[in-house]
Amino acid sequence: MGDTYAKFRVAAVQAAPVFLDREKTTEKACRLIRAAGKEGARVIGFPEAFIPGFPHWFDYRIARECKPLIKELFKSGVEIPSPATDALCEAARDAKATVVMGLNERDPGTLGTLYNTQLFIGPDGRILGKHRKLVPTWTERLVHTGGDASTLKSFASEVGPVGGLICGENTNSFYRLALLLQGERIHVASWPAFPGRERQDAIEIRTRYYAFEGKCFVISSTGVFSEEMKDLLCPTPEQRKKIVGTGAFSSIISPTGEYLAGPDTGGEKILYAEADPELIIDEKISHDLTGHYNRFDLFTLVIDDRPLRRTPVFKETEGKGTEEPLPARTKPLESPAKPEEEPDFSSAKPLKRRG
């Protein structure tokens, strides 16, 4: 008779934060997690930087005017672990679901650096890991620093490996392949609201292609630009004119690239869809880019996934504090092989990790 692959339900949360308020946004996130769990969702995706909100202000004000807002964002940043993540873990356990939460992360005990992060929580309430956006996009660079490949991973779940990327990262071929080669079966694409766009072609192109290329299910979750956010960030008529909608465009996409739910451009809601793993088999019979439809004897992907140390190392030497240089994270560039010394790729594997 062979193996059977049970269908399961997934959810994309489309919602606005309680802007710049960590505690209230965390409470709201927990309510949404429990609500999706009651509807049977086994994987729940949230928007980018949901706790306590995305730094939209650069679309409406010059950078020098935004410093007070950045300060408030930092003060409501989320440390991992912390009371905020404890509450999220409890909600995930109550929902019996894997949760992928977008948040502004800060290193514990620091007062100056934020990351754009997806937090992965298992159905037992345990933190599985996190993904930090590798390269902040455009004005995000005034707020967030970049992560490293130690967080470019998929995580085991009861319904298969779950991974995620943030906003424009879903365009990057290296990032996509790194996750797909880890067996990613459910992908969470997290986005902010885009209230200045009448069309969301960029999201549609990225998410549908991700599903079609990887033969996986994509949960695409976007934020909503709330009236509260409009009042705070767009007080003038000129600024209000830049807003053309809610900024939402959430969906759930099948391995064929077709929509199972959405795309939805309305207000706050949770989108649901049934995922049938046998669709993955159907699609991979033709094009399995992480299997028979690739040439790993010709191509390989090398990833340096050692964590990047961001603080200097000091050691005491004869009673004086001296800074010890940081070790190089990658080997220096080597000279190309001579024509008679052709490189040997016979032992190359689909995915290599340094470290």
Q: Which residue has the tokens 């392949």?
A: 177
Q: Which of 28, 66, 130, 133 is catalytic?
A: 133
Distance CA 307, CA 203 (A): 30
Joined together, the tokens standing for residue 128 give 């599985």
Q: How far is CA 157 from CA 44, 93, 101, in A?
A: 12, 13, 15
- Bridge-based pairing of strands 313-317 and 320-324 is antiparallel
**Which among 30, 66, 89, 167 is annotated as catalytic?**
167
> For the chain, what's the residue count?
355
- Residue 133 annotated as catalytic: yes
Which residue in 48, 105, 169, 283 is the catalytic one?
Answer: 48
Per-residue DSSP letter, 140: G
Q: Which two tokens stand for residue 23?
A: 């505690």
Q: What angle do CA 48, 50, 51 make, to 5 degrees?
A: 135
130 is an active site residue: no
Pick the closest to residue 131 from 162, 157, 108 (CA basis).
162
Tokens standing for 156?
């085991």
Is 48 noted as a catalytic residue in this protein?
yes
Rg (CA), the chain: 22
Tell me the one-letter amino acid at 67.
K
Residues 6+ apart with CB under 8 A from 80: 105, 108, 117, 119, 127, 130
Residue 140, CA atoms < 13 Å, CB-side half-sphere: 23
Residues that are catalytic: 48, 133, 167
